Amino acid sequence: MEKTGFFKVTIGMCVKNSEEIIKDAISSVISQDCPKGFMELIIVDGNSQDRTLQILIDSLRGVDFSYKVFSENQGLGHARQIVVDNALSDYIVWVDADMVVPNDYVRNQVAFMEQHPSVGIAGGKYGLHTGEGLAADLENIVYRVDSLYGEKGASKYGYLPGVEGSVIRVKAIRAVGGFDHKMNGAAEDTELVYRLKDRGWEISVTKETFTESTRQSWASLWKQYVWYGQGGHYVFHKNPDAINLWKMTPVAGFLAGCVRSPGAYLLLGRTAALLLPFHYTYKRTAWFFGFLRAHFGGYGHFPEK
């Protein structure tokens, strides 16, 4: 049954073990300047073993909008689909636990979709969020630069936004069957966006900007990209056109970093941008390791923070 239209927009939050950062994310949601009755919030907790869920519940006491809380333990694709299945709205804006959005973000994302009825998903742009160590700063520089210019050539589709920070038309996501429940690792959003594109929906990026806290250690960054590679393996075997494996090799990563570092330095004025070739090589090495590990046995799960 098509359950849309009661609210204009649903904010979807899929969280797990995020007690150190979740307060900022939920505070930015509560601060949205949407009129009463305009939005609802759906939280899906992935069986957190810390205080994430308690912090969320405490923060939501006394809010003047509707919210629901669900729990799951089957993976991020399943968690996101719970939001889709329970959304009573025309649009879903995704705010992950490591994000902070300005107070007009949701209203502006919805306004964009209202003005562009052929768009199925519209991403936001990454703002620069530094000061958390070299690994995190370089990752944020990468996000900022790719968000502005796009990473062309990773697949036949060109640059496509991920789900975080994006607004999705509910009837579009339901028309393509929602998220893939079998995906218990990363890339559940990438795989969905490919299907939206293939079904004729336009993909866009708006001018709205959010910030994201990235991994603060090289070890946690390695773990994250191994996880991404495992998810990429699933996506590749489901749709080989979705990923150009050459573009994901360490050598291609080094070249991508060389291409981006001069522009990143000129744009941001940060000397750390000159280290992007090494940063990209490190990430692509982790990604390819995860891809190969999945290929030879064992598919990844949601990583701990």
**Which structural domains are found in the chain, ordered by start?**
7-295 (3.90.550.10)
Classify residue 2 by burial, with Cβ atoms within 10 Å: 0-12, 13-18, 19+.
exposed
Banded pLDDT at 304 (limits 50, 70, 90):
very low
Give me the chain's average pLDDT, please.
Answer: 86
Q: Which amino acid is at 156?
A: K
Percent of the chain with pLDDT over 90: 49
pLDDT at 305 over 60: no
pLDDT-derived band of residue 303, with 50, 70 and 90 as boundaries?
very low
Taking the CA atoms of 47, 74, 214 and 285 in sequence, report the sign of the dihedral they define: positive
Is the pLDDT confidence value at 160 over 80?
no
The pTM is what? 0.85
Residue 170 token pair = 């509910």
For residue 249, give both structure tokens.
């090799």
